[in-house]
Structure 1
């Protein structure tokens, strides 16, 4: 049985709600505060593949760093991944991973696909 892993920001309401749903389910969970333990480019690329999205779709476009440095830019997938590793605040949260599956916990109920 694969343990759940959450890329978590404890300051984010949705991230806390998603973690609470996991804990209430009784599932074992590894909590990774991704702003402190930033995923490598390879790890982030793997997560994006599991999510089945393009890197640009994982961006938090409301963040100041996005508006100041990236808004309106047409970057390659690799360049977007590098930008997210360099500025992890750009990574949408929370991301929950189980085995080779991943979901974004927005809304938190999305995590139910991986529980049980």
Structure 2
């Protein structure tokens, strides 16, 4: 549901669809620095993203088995035109 934090299962699904947890991480987030030394595995990052949603790069669009993460004008325009 819109506005509710993502569960670990939802984040895991998005990471698999994206091709890895790293692609979901918002490394520009001030919170990233707080967590990066504590994360020893992708599962750690998934738990941290569920705990602290600001670690997740946004926006995210999932449509027809495809995922777009972050804002890329050309990619989003192409996705909307499909």
Relative CO higher for 1 or 2, CA cutoff 8 Å, sep ≥ 6?
1
Indicate the residue corresponding to 1:48 in structure 2.
15
Q: Which runs of 5+ in 1 are unaligned?
A: 1-30
Q: Residues of 1 paired with 2:81 and 2:31: CA distance?
A: 34
Which structure 1 residue ranges, 4+ long, deviate > 6 Å from structure 2? none
Superposition pairs of residues 1-116 of structure 1, within 5 angstroms: 32=2, 36-52=3-19, 54-67=20-33, 69-111=34-76, 112-113=78-79, 115-116=81-82
| Structure (1/2) with the larger helix percentage | 2
Aligned to 1:37, the other structure's residue is in SS state: coil
Deviation at 1:73, TM superposition (A): 4.6
Structure number, greater radius of gyration: 1
In 2: Cα distance, 1:37 partner to 1:99 partner: 22
Q: Does the 8 Å contact 1:50/1:101 carry over to 2?
A: yes
More strand by share: 1
TM-score norm. by structure 2 comes to 0.78
Query: Does the Cα contact within 8 Å between 2:57 and 2:70 map onto a contact in 1?
Result: no
Aligned length: 81
What's the C-alpha RMSD, in Å, of the aligned pairs? 2.1
Q: 1:38, 1:103 → 2: CA distance?
A: 18
